[in-house]
Amino acid sequence: MALPTKDLIDLEFLTAEEIMEILETAKPMKDVLKRKIKTVPALRGKTVATLFYENSTRTRLSFELAAKYLSAGTCNISSSASSVAKGESLQDTGRTLDAMGTDIIIIRHNMSGAPKLLGEAVNARVINAGDGTHAHPTQALLDLFTILERKGQIKGLTVTILGDILHSRVARSNIWGLTKLGAHVRVCGPPTLMPTEVEQMGAKVYYDIDEALEGSDVVNVLRIQLERQQKGLFPSIEEYAKCYAMTEERLKRAKSDLLVLHPGPMNRTIEIPTAVADSAQCTVEEQVTNGVACRMALLYLMSGGGQDE
Ligand code: CP
């Protein structure tokens, strides 16, 4: 498969067929992860660089492992330990990676739009691993894959995205992916954390969690992003948890097969209590495994998808 653009900036720019092709490719990749020897030669001779200007555990590690399992050469650059700390621009850092023969650059940045800017400056293909409050397309892919695997379909499902929608790149990318694949998307959170554009993106807005959960097949519980909060968007953490936490009581009242997703990292004392986080209905660890498979699929497809072989 050839993606329609050089870079993967968001699911907004992919068709339903292109998204499905990535998800279908992730299935055999997940089988590779179950093998005793997890490496396949699909990306032998290619170089993948991760360039992270913001903290990450899951995304960074899973991209690195995905590249290694596909036999690519890998290198990791963090802004604090690179010449970025000396004032080098994003474009110059990218061009330096280009000059060293990097094929794919995976970037996380606290500024929305940084991956697009980098992609315009380099020959390497660029994958957005999360930019500001804009997009996190590979998180959405692994969420879609998890739903598809557990529910067998996405079309027709009702999926509620719960929490701080305003600051959430995960919410935006999920809305694009879910609506393209035919799900009914609900977003639920405090009015002060609800951006106006979500309705235009095809999501239905709820401010009452119990109304939103009624009839939902899936709930994707977002992390309260304490580091992004401007003061005063909700009265207190306790008040937020009282109104919007995915509690055990709410889980009991919901559909018995409600699937509970969380992108991680979790605030177990705020949006998702331990009893729910550790329940059989919560897929947080499965999502991590699926993240490696989906990122393997994406790296494979963006490297030509075996067309060179
Ligand atoms: N879900 C997610 O993006 O996690 P990390 O910040 O650990 O990569």
For residue range 288-304, what is the model confidence (pLDDT) as tens digits? Answer: 999 999 999 999 999 98
Across the beta sheet with 218-221, the strand order is 204-206, 184-188, 158-162, 218-221, 259-261
Q: In the chain, count of helices (H) and strands (E)?
A: 11, 9
Give the ligand 1 atom nearest the CA of 136: 3
pLDDT in tens, 191-204: 999 999 999 999 99
Cα 53 to Cα 115: distance, rounded to the nearest angstrom: 11
Mean model confidence pLDDT for the chain: 94
Rounded to the nearest angstrom, the distance between the alpha carbon of 56 and the centre of ligand 1 is: 5
Question: CA-to-CA distance for 29 and 60, rounded, in angstroms?
Answer: 18
In angstroms, the CA 107 to CA 50 distance is 6
Quote the ligand 1 centre to 62 CA distance (angstroms): 10
Give nearest CA residue, ligand 1 atom 6: 56
Closest CA to 155 of 177, 180, 183: 183
Picking from 117, 120, 169, the residue whose alpha carbon sits closest to that of residue 140 is: 169
| Residue 208 clears pLDDT 80, i.e. is over it | yes
CA torsion 6→64→39→28, rounded to 10°? -60
Q: Is the pLDDT of residue 230 over 70?
A: no
Decide if pLDDT at 142 tops 50. Answer: yes
Q: How many residues does the chain have?
A: 309
pLDDT in tens, 13-68: 999 999 999 999 999 999 999 999 999 999 999 999 999 999 999 999 999 999 99
Burial class (CB within 10 angstroms; exposed 0-12, middle 13-18, buried 19+) of 68? middle
* 66-75, 84-93, 148-157, range with the lowest pLDDT: 84-93
Local confidence band at 2 (pLDDT 50, 70, 90 cut-offs): low
* Coil vs helix vs strand at 221: strand
- Write down the pLDDT at residue 236: 84
In the structure, what pLDDT confidence band is assigned to residue 1 with cuts at 50, 70 and 90? low
Residue 309 clears pLDDT 50, i.e. is over it: no
Q: How far is the CA of 272 from the centre of ligand 1 (A)?
A: 16
- Asked whether the CA dihedral 276, 279, 282, 287 is positive or negative, the reply is positive
The whole-number pLDDT of residue 235 equals 79
Residue ID of nearest Cα to ligand 1 atom 5: 56
Which pTM was predicted? Answer: 0.96
Residues with CB under 6 A from ligand 1: 56-59, 130, 139, 263-265
Question: Which amino acid residue places its CA nearest to atom 4 of ligand 1?
Answer: 58
What separation in Å is there between the alpha carbon of 266 and the centre of ligand 1?
10
Share of the chain above pLDDT 90, in %: 87
In terms of pLDDT, which residue wins out, 38 or 78?
A: 38
| pLDDT above 60: residue 216 | yes
Name which residue leads in pLDDT, 306 or 95.
95
